[in-house]
Amino acid sequence: MLRTIIFFSVALCSTLSLRGQGIVEIKPAARIDTVVTDITGILGAFPEEVKFLATQMQDKTEFVIQHLTFTEGRLNGQHVVLAQTGIGKVNASLTTILLIEHFHPKAIVFTGIAGAINPTLAPGDLVIGTTLAHHDYGALTATGIQRRPTRDPATMQENPIYFPCDTSLVHLAQRAGKNLVLEKIKSPQGLRSPKIISGVIVTGDVFVSSEKATQELQKQMHAEATEMEGAAVAQVSYQQHIPFLVIRSMSDNASSTAPADIETFYQVAARNSANLVMAIMTAQGKPKK
């Protein structure tokens, strides 16, 4: 659908090309918290985490903002904007801020893969985040890392160490997952059907592939899974008062075999997480039972 869209930005006036669509004019303007739309923002770090969702969208329009591509359209009847953040907390924060500034989403959902901390989880299993926390923020002492809360730079108030995902979104995801048929995973015992649980997801700018580290994260933070973007998205969303949800599908068990496991299970794990996102979009349009 050919259209020209005027955006508001705190940046200086500039123009950005809209691939195949024309020109998007960027103008300085209002505070980002003055407008809320019906859009749900959907983010993922890796190409496979967003590629499948993009193929399922209708009425798509692409926007390039600060060299990042945002795809607006409809997914299972819901108005969404989809973007790939890249790996790590800084990239995730940047993309989230651009999403909020330009599209004013009513909620943000992050989808993708993770390493399992809970030893009962296997590749393909999903964790619906109830809270997100940075596992690498604090003070590094002789006895290890002492985790401390971040602060909101606008108020200098301490943030919670565990950022709570929006309760209604968590319940919606749990409801959507009950009857969801996920892609089966090859195991030594044959094909297995993945399970879905809810719990704590922890985030750090490190790829965890250590049995000792996973044991510590489970003991100290009660984590179910670990990844590299979720808490950053959670912190930005929390500080901007936007409901958020993080969904992760296990690609490995964050142990010494993680580099090999992620190569084997990355794509199917990414698709399972994306399928739950699609089920959530469908459930948004249905009345509660």
In whole angstroms, give the CA distance from residue 124 to residue 32: 37
Catalytic residue among 49, 72, 125, 224: 49
Q: How far is CA 232 from the centre of its chain?
A: 9
59 is catalytic: no
Catalytic residue among 48, 125, 224, 252: 252
49 is catalytic: yes
In whole angstroms, give the CA distance from residue 211 to residue 154: 38
Q: Which residues are annotated as catalytic?
A: 49, 252
